[in-house]
Amino acid sequence: MEAITKTDFSFPGQTGRYVGKVRDVYDIDNEYLVMVVTDRISAFDVVLPKGIPFKGQVLNQIAARFLDATTDILPNWKIDVPDPMVTVGHKCEPFKVEMVIRGYLSGHAWREYKAGKRTLCGEVLPEGMVENQKFPEPVITPTTKAAEGHDEDISKEDIIASGIVSREDYEQLEKYTRALFRRGTEIAAKMGLILVDTKYEFGKKNGTIYLMDEIHTPDSSRYFYAEGYEERLAKGEKQKQLSKEFVREWLMANGFQGQAGQSVPEMTPEVVDSISDRYIELYENITGDRFVKAEDSQNVLQRIHDNVCKCIEQL
């Protein structure tokens, strides 16, 4: 299949289009959004030069599954998945923070901790922890949603004091974040996985808070394999991960971390195919189902256009 890295649709009622790192989002009548999850892949805040076949389908279908599995916690933006690479849903006014929640001391939190910091986004971290150790209770470490560049860590009190989110809304976001993380943790455990950390985005429509965007995908979340976790932790070994960390590791091994003057290493067909295979493996491990490649993979853009148009007619 040819990877889909660019879309330029003209849908009925279309009033705008936003191109993100991975998603192309089409505004329909200022009421609905058509989110096309492309095969673009980003790392270190850089979109890599080649797309990964079936990556968009993997991410879209995992997100749709977890959105459906959390509707009892709060409403979400999803209305329909008319195509394997597309979700259509409600247009909400997004909160300008991402709710990051961490069950384990990994990634960015570990780098800050190793540098001597014991407070992250206003959360006091216990002394004497080691990398990948479980927190006594999950910690919420929100970030600002940057229009450009990197998101920045921010504390609950700074969010409220600066008026980014009202206290009432923020405390509700915290409750939803903890409930969603509990649910994600329970589902992951059934698959032999540990949900290490993740992020959620929320918005409002007609005064109601909605869960937006993706949820519990390997692009937005970090998973460990549960089997062998304690042994690796005790030995100070790296955990076996289920995330796109393997892409970052390949880039770093080839001298690229997104810094000025660095060039993305050549993405040969073999490299692209191996990343595609890993995303399919991620899907199957997270969902427990066999991945079924979408039909008509030679005319994907026409397929998406036709499927979305049919969906819009029904809205």
Is the pLDDT score of 20 beyond 80?
Answer: yes
Looking at 188, 207, 242, the residue that finishes a domain is 242
Question: Is residue 200 included in any domain, yes or no?
Answer: yes
Give the mean pLDDT of the chain.
Answer: 95
Is the pLDDT score of 160 beyond 70?
Answer: yes
Is the pLDDT score of 210 beyond 80?
Answer: yes
Convert the pLDDT of each residue in 222-241 to its tens digit.
999 999 999 999 999 999 98
> What is the Cα–Cα distance from 245 to 43, expressed in whole angstroms?
9
Residue range 277-297: average pLDDT?
91
State the residue for tokens 């922890």. Answer: 129
- Asked if 290 and 196 sit in the same domain, the reply is no
- Could you tell me the CATH number of the domain that includes residue 172? 3.30.470.20
- Asked if 112 and 178 sit in the same domain, the reply is yes
- Asked if 104 and 237 sit in the same domain, the reply is yes
Question: Is residue 197 included in any domain, yes or no?
Answer: yes
- Asked if 283 and 204 sit in the same domain, the reply is no
- Asked if 118 and 217 sit in the same domain, the reply is yes
- Asked if 67 and 109 sit in the same domain, the reply is no
Look up residue 128 and give its two tokens: 């004497």
Residue range 79-103: average pLDDT?
98
Question: Is residue 141 included in any domain, yes or no?
Answer: yes
Question: Is residue 252 included in any domain, yes or no?
Answer: no
pLDDT score at 149: 59
Is the pLDDT score of 37 beyond 90?
Answer: yes
Beta strands 42-43 and 46-47 are antiparallel
- Asked if 53 and 107 sit in the same domain, the reply is no
- Asked if 39 and 129 sit in the same domain, the reply is no
- Asked if 223 and 119 sit in the same domain, the reply is yes
Which alpha helices (H) appear in the chain, and where do they start and end? 55-68, 107-114, 156-161, 167-190, 229-235, 245-253, 269-287, 300-314
Residue range 187-205: average pLDDT?
97
Residue range 17-46: average pLDDT?
95
Dihedral-angle region of residue 226 (phi above 0 means left; psi in -120 to 50 means alpha; beta otherwise): alpha
Residue range 97-104: average pLDDT?
98
Question: Is residue 194 included in any domain, yes or no?
Answer: yes
- Asked if 131 and 224 sit in the same domain, the reply is yes
Question: Is residue 49 included in any domain, yes or no?
Answer: yes
Question: Is residue 74 included in any domain, yes or no?
Answer: yes
Question: Is residue 251 included in any domain, yes or no?
Answer: no
Convert the pLDDT of each residue in 39-52 to its tens digit.
999 998 899 999 99
First to last CA, the chain: 31
- Asked if 199 and 109 sit in the same domain, the reply is yes
> What is the Cα–Cα distance from 250 to 261, expressed in whole angstroms?
18
- Asked if 40 and 149 sit in the same domain, the reply is no
pLDDT score at 256: 96
pLDDT score at 134: 98
Residue range 288-310: average pLDDT?
92
Give the DSSP letter of residue 76: B
Q: Where does residue 86 rank: exposed (0-12), middle (13-18), buried (19+ CB within 10 A)?
A: buried
% residues pLDDT > 90 (the chain): 90
Beta strands 119-120 and 123-124 are antiparallel
> What is the Cα–Cα distance from 192 to 224, expressed in whole angstroms?
9
Residue range 24-51: average pLDDT?
96
Question: Looking at the 3D structure of the chain, how many domains does it have?
Answer: 2
- Could you tell me the CATH number of the domain that includes residue 282? 3.30.200.20
pLDDT score at 148: 60
The amino acid at residue 307 is: N
Looking at 242, 258, 284, the residue that finishes a domain is 242
Where residue 297 falls among pLDDT bands split at 50, 70, 90? low
Domain that includes residue 162, residue range: 94-242
Convert the pLDDT of each residue in 101-158 to its tens digit.
999 999 999 999 999 999 999 999 999 999 999 999 999 999 998 666 567 999 999 9
